[in-house]
Structure 1
């Protein structure tokens, strides 16, 4: 029957999102929303999801775009949109159209936040929306002989004023308009405003909920799976060969801004598809998310180990061997298997590792010695190691990975592992199984 809530699914799900609720309470998210989202009829559900984030204690700055709305206004006046260097050329007519579009969109957004219909996420919600002249702009000017006229760039964001507004519980709404000290209006891009605001606030996240699903794992194959986490260095390499474009359907259009924010101190930037209902909630409150997260790993390296890392691995795992969490491994064994390890290194110190032992004939592999230093546990490094191990196993053409554990079974079960009988183990591994230790065997299948 429609509308029923089943405790056996709801309760485990709600418990699984609780860590994210705790982690993000009090954090600041800057959310970029293109005008295409509104044109697609997604505004009401999107606003409801933002209201849920707000109710969970997240401080929100919402930046709206208006690209299709401006183009619609131009068409009504018999004008054609003009672009150059990946940016709109804003003449006097386009500026009027932008002002009209911005006014209408702000009205629609504020109205959506004011809904209080029973049996909707907005029931009992009181969401105050604050907007104002938080942005100072400067002209783009003339570039390669092209006069961009009333198109501008963000000169300064009044971060202190925005911070005061979000600290008292308001959602700050920014339109892509800025004013010069002389009062001249400039048409800005939503992406530039959102990125500048995130940098000025040193936001915890910048999220573009946009037309593209994320960055494909294979940039040459748009149909390949979405890369859920992209290191800033990889993003920069991708952007180095990309041509600036005004088309928001090109993933580099948003990736460029995500990378800029990360370079300036915003820890996480996201590209999320608005075509998926609830995409914002899925990205924030589920382990794998639904789009692409760009993260700066300048001080931190997730990589395959070498013989030079053996001492660091031993130092890391020794405390866990002493308390019985891990099976003891000799230095000779670790030296022999060094290339099977993946490590997380920070400023030359290894504080996470995991090993992958393949059993190719059985199309599976054992993940062993998954360890994160007690000093940094709870920051997601175990998940990052698991993801890299899964990627290595998939690259070998394997169908699954398995672990043997006596104490951490719940952590693995939460991440998609299922318990099986030890008889399931590949024959070679079964011969080494310690029946006295009675380790649980947990398997994660990729298909």
Structure 2
């Protein structure tokens, strides 16, 4: 890998960083939340109205890009976190921030235990922290909460966190190709010291995790997406790799914008469809999603369908669905896009029909909804996307910007001996002598 030019100033590079738009869906489809840059936008699907968020602090909701957004399994909590080193916990009944937790480093991933008692978040130094929500009341702010370290990867950015459906394990993935399965202890504030397994096999950073569940297989199986363009199926108890699907090749997507992709199309995000054994996969450069079929009996993954979004450059940066899987929600967008008037771009689309099968072809009768057919319609889009129309070339530029930013952040850089010495001299975290 070629070396990049030596960095001049860290502050300048921080200002140029971009963040992809993120989407999260309430588990019972009550609301949809989108984060783009430091903006957090929520729409109430029950009342058909945008939601105003309440935060008793005098500061903005977030001062820097939001990097993680997650509803709890019961839908009572929403957690947001990011580059401002703040983890905000929202009560979704009153839509009030009930607690703001400070992180030592920028936050890269969050997870909420299925019982809603613990929030975990990971930072870019490789540490996973836990916050105890004991004493949570729906209409009352929590007392000042502090996070306790629970586990750590070795100085590697943690890209994704998940609790297993039975809450026995917390799964963490990082940029060094590792997936770690850790027993979640009864007293997590004392740390999680027992590792169940490592799931090893990816050849690039692991970008996303999700669980595939079925009534016949209560233990569930883990699926992971990666910068190596594959989705892999795992038995987390043993750490065994059950199957690998090269999504880019299987979907016939080997090139981006008409030219060969130097690094291969990375998996941007994936989302399991609860009412089926399907996994929706977003790939860099693909305008649409790939649906994978997960055969749990045979422990195999295969491409079921490629759903293309025609007529616009829509390359999803994040996916979400509810437990009923009425719709697959998608967002594309980016913050801090240089050279354009709008610095925070977002476009929301939805796909329906996961429970319907075309009798002629035997395939799912999934369709991409028109804007007017999306729940909440134009009012929802105005809230989640922001006002004003955005030209197609802007979203093409945004997709390339996200791709470059993801590569620069997660692909490990190789340095010569001379450059390593140069970087050491410029470090600002050396201990001072007294």
TM-score under structure 1 length normalisation: 0.23
Q: Pick the structure with greater CA Rg.
A: 1
State the TM-score, normalized to the length of structure 2.
0.23
- Pick the structure with more helix per residue: 1
